[in-house]
């Protein structure tokens, strides 16, 4: 464990931070600009995974396994979420024959 930590710590933490920020922003941008519900869902996954990566990185740098345990939790929850999200998208597709989110504007004021 210690040797793995040491080898991982060879990469400076700022790299992880930078990388995850970029990944997160790509996710946000995807959510903001995409019309396709499936792509939005994927962008959300991207954001989640950027956070996961960051958690794991800090976990090793701080020698605290709690972060990695969190990652597992998040992955489980994300899987459930994706399952539900996809199910919803499938249902939407069946009723509207489209997965464009702009036509889903009935739920307003």
In whole angstroms, give the CA distance from residue 44 to residue 14.
Answer: 23
Tell me whether residue 94 or residue 108 sits nearer to other proteins (CB atom).
108
Q: What are the residues whose beta carbons fall under 8 Å from the beta carbon of 79, sequence distance 6 or more?
A: none
Whether the Cβ atoms of residue 5 and residue 63 lie closer than 8 Å to each other: yes
Q: Is 28 in the site for other proteins (CB under 8 A)?
A: yes
Q: How near is the Cβ of 97 to other proteins at its closest, in Å?
A: 18
Q: Is 35 in the site for other proteins (CB under 8 A)?
A: yes
Q: What are the residues whose beta carbons fall under 8 Å from the beta carbon of 96, sequence distance 6 or more?
A: 103, 104
Residue in 26, 31, 39, 42 binding other proteins, rule: CB under 8 A: 31
Q: Is 101 in the site for other proteins (CB under 8 A)?
A: yes
Q: Which chain residues interact with other proteins by CB under 8 A?
A: 28, 31-32, 35, 40, 101-102, 104-109
């Amino acid at each position: 464990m210690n040797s793995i930590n040491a080898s991982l710590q060879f990469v400076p933490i700022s790299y992880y931070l930078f990388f995850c920020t970029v990944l997160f922003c790509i996710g946000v941008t995807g959510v903001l600009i995409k019309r396709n519900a499936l792509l939005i869902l994927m962008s959300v996954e991207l954001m989640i995974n950027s956070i996961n990566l960051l958690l794991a990185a800090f976990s090793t740098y701080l020698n605290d396994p709690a972060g990695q345990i969190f990652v597992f939790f998040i992955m489980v929850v994300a899987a459930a979420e994706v399952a539900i999200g996809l199910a919803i998208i499938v249902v939407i597709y069946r009723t509207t024959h489209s997965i464009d989110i702009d036509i889903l504007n009935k739920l307003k004021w």
